[in-house]
Structure 1
Amino acid sequence: MTKRAELYRTRQEARAALVELDDDIAAMDRTLRILGYEHDPDDAMPTVAQNPMFKRGQLRRLIYTTLREAGPLSCRQIAERISGADGKELSAVAKRVDRSLYKAFQRGQLQRQKARTGEWVWFGGGIEN
């Protein structure tokens, strides 16, 4: 419990620091406006380069293909098949697969059922064998 309390305290300090940074940025924006800066200050901010693990829509297609070929599978089983095929880190793939499966479930594109092991087994509307 000591570690949990320490993490909680660190989180609270980080939140306080973010509030302080937001206040500082707002003060700078007000100063820029007073000095006559007419553009949106956010436009001058550098963009953060992202290195996505999958291209747009690629993960969803891999999931659907895996389910179509193998039938109902758990998130972990899907991630193992995808990471094995692409050589990507399993835990990172599993996290993205889980998120993608749940989004598809919310949109009604996939269904799930609780297995005896307690895991969700995923299968799809229109993608089954």
Structure 2
Amino acid sequence: MSHYSRITDYSETQNGLLKTRADLFNEAERITERLAEIKNDVKALDKTLRLVGYDGELDAIMPRQKRNVMFGQGELLGALMLELRHAEGPLRSRELAQNILATSGDDIRDRRAVSDLTRRVSKALRTQREKGVVIGKQDESRNIQWTLRPRR
């Protein structure tokens, strides 16, 4: 006969998960600080190279970085069209970017991710505006508010 556990109190599991979550946030903070240190060190090295007479292009000798692919071909546009279809009204590029990040389970408080995605959203929607698929109107703050063009 098999014996099933009838645990109804998950407080130990919750405590363990909360501790792991806190540890991960602390590690992310340490990594962020270390990245800032490295960037400062690179700037200092660049300045020193210039002082000792190096006049080459520093960015040209940088190693290629692996491209971070967030969306496959057409996925971003599909997500944008879905967001606009279900929107109650016009949405700004930043709001669309935050919605897409939230939908994919990413942290919308990550300023860099939101800014990067906002630029990509704006470009994708400008292209769609040229094709007549969406309408973009500037609001009083000079932000563009996007809506789908109504079907005829």
Q: If the length of structure 1 is used for normalisation, what is the TM-score?
A: 0.56
Q: What residue in structure 1 maps to residue 8 of structure 2?
A: none
Identical-pair percentage: 24
Secondary structure of 2:72's partner? coil
Larger Rg: 2
2:104 maps to 1:80: no
The one-letter amino acid of 1:106's match is: E
Deviations 1:13-46 (A, max 9, x none): 64xx97xxxxxxxxxxxxxxxxxxxxxxxxxxxx
Deviations 1:52-89 (A, max 9, x none): 21011111111111111113101111111111111162
What is the distance in 1 between the residues matched to 2:103 and 2:90?
18
Aligned-residue offset at 1:92: 2.0
Aligned-residue offset at 1:116: 1.9
What is the distance in 1 between the residues matched to 2:140 and 2:85?
22
Aligned-residue offset at 1:93: 1.4
Q: If the length of structure 2 is used for normalisation, what is the TM-score?
A: 0.48
1:12-91 correspondence runs (5 A) = 14=57, 50-70=67-87, 71-86=89-104, 87=106, 89-91=113-115
Q: What residue in structure 1 maps to residue 116 of structure 2?
A: 92
Greater length-normalized contact order (CA 8 Å, ≥ 6 residues apart):
1
Q: What residue in structure 1 maps to residue 149 of structure 2?
A: 125
Q: Unpaired runs of 5+ in structure 2? A: 1-55, 108-112
> Which 4+ stretches in 1 moved above 6 angstroms?
none
2:125 maps to 1:108: no
Deviations 1:71-114 (A, max 9, x none): 31011111111111111621221121111111111111111111
Q: Unpaired runs of 5+ in structure 1? A: 1-12, 19-47
Secondary structure of 1:121's partner? strand
